[in-house]
């Protein structure tokens, strides 16, 4: 399979390296010192204590590569929006785009089959830029579980988990998703196909909608956010509001899962969740896909989200004061933030 990984940082680089080692024709879009290292010395993967080096073509210009069978988008949501036009050289008539990203995806209402079918979300796809430039018909959903880190330019260490849950927006088991599943499995990943990928997206978002902004506001690690009584109560309030929004959209997450989600997160002692890491490292904050989108969807289905609204206003201002957030961001900053650490 011919695959381009757009954003070959922690998760993208992990996927690119393993897929290339499995014999697929893989290229990568990267930048900065990370790109320079990949070009000079290859991409190094550290998995289960073993280091392997992968030689694969890499560039910061997608025009260097032709149309692909699959483009894996492993960017942050705001970077993906800013880069939408750059996907064009990679897109052939049948190219699929796997959105290996956190939060609510820009294609969420494509073939959703509810009353909002075909609606685009302004919070994550301002002006329907991705919907029009990439095409919602290309999208395949993905929920990312692995934890990886770029420990040095061109060097990616895998820490935990190997599962990438995937699903078609219409819930079908299409030929293209079966081919993609087979490619991912051949690379050693777990890649279950789900006919309700939006449920999996919401399940992960259920934690991210509260853990990330609360951590950025308080500077608290994940175990602290989920165990300190006041912060845990705040998490529960935000999770209950998100659950109500999801339910209004036909996605049922049982209340009994809340304690399990909180307890599981709390077991990761000392972990700084991604938004706090970004704040500390001076990288743009992924607020809109994780929080603003829930607020927008709540308004669409007339479900009140007062706690989410309040926390969102606070974290947006925290981001603005640090110069790391604007809903009008049109491009990613100049850092190597495609090389981010991901465990949320």
Under a CB-based contact definition with an 8 Å cutoff, are residues 326 and 320 in contact? yes
Catalytic annotation on 236? no
Rounded CA gap, 189 and 202, in Å?
A: 22
Rounded CA gap, 46 and 14, in Å?
A: 9
Among candidate residues 35, 20, 256, the one with its CA nearest the CA of residue 153: 35
Under a CB-based contact definition with an 8 Å cutoff, are residues 20 and 54 in contact? yes
Which run of H or of E encompasses 2? strand 2-6
Query: What burial letters (b/e) apply to 174-210, b meaning 16+ CB within 10 Å?
Result: eebbeebbebbebbebebebbeebbbbbbbbbbbbbb
Q: How many CA atoms lie within 13 A of 288 on its CB side?
A: 21
Strands 139-144 and 147-152: unpaired
Rounded CA gap, 91 and 227, in Å?
A: 46
Among candidate residues 8, 15, 2, the one with its CA nearest the CA of residue 35: 8
Residue 35 burial (CB < 10 Å; 0-12/13-18/19+)?
Answer: buried
What does the DSSP assignment read for 134-187?
Answer: IIGGGEEEEEE--EEEEEETTEEEEEE--BEEEE-TT----HHHHHHHHHHHHT
Catalytic-role residue among 2, 76, 162, 204: 204
C-alpha distances out from residue 308 to 109, 208, 239, 316, 339, Å: 21, 12, 9, 12, 29
Active site residues: 204
């Amino acid at each position: 399979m011919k695959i381009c990984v757009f954003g070959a940082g922690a998760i993208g680089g992990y996927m690119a390296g393993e897929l290339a080692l499995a014999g697929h024709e893989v290229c990568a879009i990267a930048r900065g010192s990370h790109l320079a290292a990949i070009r000079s010395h290859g991409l190094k993967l550290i998995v289960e204590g073993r280091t392997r080096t992968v030689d694969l073509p890499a560039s910061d210009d997608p025009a260097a590569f032709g149309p692909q069978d699959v483009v894996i988008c492993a960017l942050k949501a705001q970077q993906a929006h800013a880069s939408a036009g750059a996907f064009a050289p990679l897109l052939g008539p049948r190219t699929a785009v796997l959105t290996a990203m956190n939060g609510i995806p820009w294609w969420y209402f494509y073939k959703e089959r509810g009353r909002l079918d075909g609606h685009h979300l302004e919070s994550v796809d301002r002006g329907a830029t991705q919907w029009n430039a990439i095409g919602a018909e290309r999208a395949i959903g993905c929920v990312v579980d692995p934890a990886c880190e770029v420990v040095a330019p061109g060097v990616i260490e895998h820490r935990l988990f190997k599962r990438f849950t995937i699903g078609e927006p219409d819930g079908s088991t299409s030929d293209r998703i079966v081919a993609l599943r087979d490619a991912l499995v051949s690379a050693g990943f777990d890649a279950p196909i789900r006919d309700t990928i939006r449920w999996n997206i919401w399940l992960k978002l259920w934690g991210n909608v509260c853990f990330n902004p609360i951590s950025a506001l308080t500077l608290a690690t994940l175990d602290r956010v989920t165990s300190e009584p006041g912060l845990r109560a705040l998490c529960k309030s935000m999770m209950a509001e998100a659950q109500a929004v999801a339910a209004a959209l036909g996605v049922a997450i049982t209340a009994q899962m809340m304690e399990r989600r909180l307890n599981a997160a709390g077991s990761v002692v000392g972990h700084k969740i991604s938004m706090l890491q970004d704040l500390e490292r001076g990288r743009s904050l992924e607020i809109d896909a994780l929080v603003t989108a829930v607020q927008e969807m709540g308004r669409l289905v007339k479900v009140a989200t007062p706690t989410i609204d309040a926390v969102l206003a606070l974290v947006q201002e925290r981001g603005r004061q640090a110069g790391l957030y604007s809903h009008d961001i049109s491009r990613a900053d100049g850092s190597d933030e495609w090389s981010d650490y991901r465990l949320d």
